[in-house]
């Protein structure tokens, strides 16, 4: 009798647990068992049902068809009304809306995440500049130069502690610059994709460093320059 009661209790527990989960249904038909934490003006934050202590994911409402809550209530999202992006948004605003981990490569991508990372590997902040984030790029470049100067002056003063601190700063800034360059490219690509889908067409002016190839008497030589792009 006790075993039967225990068995029924366990079954009841799993039945309640199964019924208590939310479902996030994407527009492609995929159902994600989840625990919905927040429904914002243009995004939904949730954790995976089987990983309640894991990562909190952020998904734009225009990617979601509906949410089926554990209470039995359904919330359906309209694709266009849930698109809360606006032309000329700043990167800080984009980063609050878009989760770079949800990025999917598209034929319409303007920026290359890998290219931005490689550019920031050679020159800290260059990847951010290529993506149009000049202030962010110069911040990384300035930090790298500052730590390099500190390291050099410390070496002249024969201060091993300051030398190590300077080298650690250079390394940390360089790594962060590479990672951030990739993230910036992904977030801005996601933003531009939503702008394209929303049907907004306007004038976009972009100035960024580039490498061009010039034919000379000795052959084709790469030259650094600036590119001014006008997009309609």
The CATH code of the domain that includes 68 is 2.30.30.100
Q: How confident is the model at residue 180 (pLDDT cuts 50, 70, 90)?
A: very high
| Number of domains into which the chain is organized | 2
Residues 167 and 221 in one domain: yes
Write out the residue range of the structural domain in which residue 99 sits: 91-231
pLDDT attached to residue 35? 92
The yes-or-no verdict on residue 186 having pLDDT over 70 is: yes
Tell me which range, 17-21, 32-36, 94-98, is most confidently predicted by mean pLDDT. Answer: 32-36
Residues 68 and 104 in one domain: no
Classify residue 112: in a domain, yes or no.
yes
Residues 121 and 67 in one domain: no
40 vs 29: CA distance, rounded Å: 22
Residue 78: burial class (beta carbons within 10 Å; 0-12, 13-18, 19+): exposed
Percent of the chain with pLDDT over 90: 38
The yes-or-no verdict on residue 130 having pLDDT over 50 is: yes
Average pLDDT over all residues of the chain: 81
Over range 162-183, report the average pLDDT.
Answer: 95
Domain edge (last residue) among 25, 45, 76: 76
Residues 104 and 216 in one domain: yes
Classify residue 23: in a domain, yes or no.
yes
Of residues 139 and 196, the one with the higher pLDDT is: 139
pLDDT attached to residue 222? 66
Classify residue 85: in a domain, yes or no.
no
CA dihedral over 13, 15, 18, 19, signed as positive or negative: negative
pTM for the model stands at 0.57
The yes-or-no verdict on residue 9 having pLDDT over 90 is: no
Residues 107 and 167 in one domain: yes
pLDDT attached to residue 187? 93
Nearest to 142 by CA among 129, 154, 125: 125
Q: What is the dihedral of CA 89, 94, 100, 106, to 10 degrees?
A: -30
Classify residue 199: in a domain, yes or no.
yes
Residues 218 and 127 in one domain: yes
């Amino acid at each position: 009798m006790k075993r039967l009661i225990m068995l029924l209790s366990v079954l009841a527990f799993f039945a309640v647990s199964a019924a208590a989960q939310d479902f996030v249904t994407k527009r492609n038909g995929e159902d994600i068992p989840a625990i919905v934490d927040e429904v914002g003006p243009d995004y939904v934050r949730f954790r995976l049902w089987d990983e309640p202590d894991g990562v909190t994911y952020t998904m734009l409402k225009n990617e979601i068809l509906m949410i089926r809550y554990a209470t039995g209530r359904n919330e359906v999202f309209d694709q266009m009304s849930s698109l809360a992006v606006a032309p000329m948004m700043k990167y800080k605003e984009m980063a609050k809306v878009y989760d770079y981990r949800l990025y999917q490569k598209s034929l319409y991508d303007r920026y290359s995440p890998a290219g931005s990372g490689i550019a920031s590997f050679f020159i800290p902040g260059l990847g951010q500049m290529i993506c149009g984030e000049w202030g962010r790029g110069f911040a990384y470049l300035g930090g790298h130069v500052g730590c390099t100067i500190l390291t050099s002056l410390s070496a002249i003063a024969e201060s091993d502690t300051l030398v190590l601190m300077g080298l650690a700063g250079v390394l940390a800034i360089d790594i962060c610059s590479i990672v951030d360059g990739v993230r910036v490219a992904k977030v801005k690509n996601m933003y531009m994709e939503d702008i394209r889908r929303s049907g907004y067409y306007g004038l976009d002016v972009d100035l960024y460093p580039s490498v061009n190839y010039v034919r000379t008497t000795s052959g084709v030589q790469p030259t650094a320059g600036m590119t001014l792009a006008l997009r309609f």
